[in-house]
């Protein structure tokens, strides 16, 4: 399983993903699920993946190959030269359907076994901060002021803190703390989600990455967040009024 979360606030974008894959209790692996693409001064894009690993890896390869070909002089459309973020989401969705179609034809796999979801967010020069959830069928929806975050994978444990904290005017610093608490809650409740984690931050109008950081199990800052959040919950619980006479 996996857990990926992406938040869009007025000040920028914050993303956090785990790296655990689970094909059974005795077959646990580790794969990066956040991929970043940058054209300095023009745009920065991050993509997060969940679902069938072979599908998402092939999509990433297809996207990266197109970018490399374009840099070598091949005239082709990529997520780094397309007209806007909406078109970039379309490119990823189209790649999703193309990869699934090839695998279905060659391997005879069912569409359900090839299911995958992706989060894409970023900003290009002259455009707004954008956040998209791309479904397995290749269609997608965009985040808004009413829906400022998306989750894919094992999302239920980490959703309550985001519902309470994330608003359009939430600062980048608080958004980063919120996704860390969201991930910590998920790590504690589901063994199929595991470290290390990848934290990515895009500040508004920077057209680059403010942070691309890997968080390991011994990370001091994440450890303090986890410890203090647990202590805060316990103190809050103890202060609640009793419901029994």
pLDDT tens digits, residue range 156-177? 999 999 999 999 999 999 999 9
Instruction: Output phi, psi for 15, to 5 deg.
Output: -130, 145
18 and 35 Cβ atoms separated by less than 8 Å: no
Domains of the chain from N-terminus onward: 3-49+117-238 (3.60.20.10)
H/E run at residue 152: strand 149-153
Instruction: Provide the sign of the torsion angle of the four alpha carbons 225, 229, 231, 235, taken in this order.
Output: positive
**How high does pLDDT run on average in the chain?**
94
CA gyration radius, the chain: 19
Name the DSSP class of 195.
S
User: Per-residue pLDDT for 23 more than 60?
Assistant: no
User: Per-residue pLDDT for 245 more than 90?
Assistant: no
Q: Region 112-127: what's the mean pLDDT?
A: 94
Q: Region 128-147: what's the mean pLDDT?
A: 97
CA dihedral 26, 27, 28, 29 (to 10 degrees): 150
Tell me the C-alpha distance between 185 and 189, whole Å: 6
Question: Which two three-digit tokens encode residue 243?
Answer: 């419901």
- How high is the pLDDT of residue 107? 74
pLDDT tens digits for range 52-105:
999 999 999 999 999 999 999 999 999 999 999 999 999 999 999 999 999 888
Q: pLDDT above 90 covers what percent of the chain?
A: 88
- How high is the pLDDT of residue 25? 58
User: Per-residue pLDDT for 111 more than 90?
Assistant: no
């Amino acid at each position: 399983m996996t857990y990926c979360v992406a938040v869009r606030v007025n000040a920028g974008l914050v993303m956090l993903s785990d790296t655990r894959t689970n094909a059974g209790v005795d077959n646990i692996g580790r794969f990066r699920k956040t991929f970043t693409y940058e054209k300095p001064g023009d745009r920065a894009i991050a993509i997060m993946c969940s679902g069938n690993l072979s599908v998402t890896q092939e999509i990433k390869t297809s996207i990266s190959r197109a970018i490399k070909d374009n840099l070598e002089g091949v005239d082709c459309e990529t997520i780094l030269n397309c007209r806007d973020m909406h078109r970039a989401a379309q490119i990823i969705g189209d790649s999703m359907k193309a990869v699934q179609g090839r695998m279905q034809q060659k391997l005879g796999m069912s569409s359900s076994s090839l299911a995958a979801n992706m989060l894409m967010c970023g900003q290009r020069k002259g455009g707004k901060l954008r956040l998209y959830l791309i479904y397995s069928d290749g269609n997608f929806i965009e985040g808004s002021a009413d829906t400022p975050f998306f989750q894919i994978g094992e999302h239920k444990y980490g959703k309550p803190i985001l519902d309470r904290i994330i608003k359009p005017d939430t600062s980048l610093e608080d958004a980063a703390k919120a996704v860390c608490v969201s991930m910590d809650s998920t790590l504690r409740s589901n063994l199929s989600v595991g470290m290390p984690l990848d934290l990515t931050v895009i500040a508004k109008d920077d057209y680059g990455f403010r942070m691309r950081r890997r968080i390991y199990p011994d990370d001091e800052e994440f450890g303090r967040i986890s410890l203090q959040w647990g202590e805060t919950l316990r103190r809050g619980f103890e202060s609640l009024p009793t419901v029994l006479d």
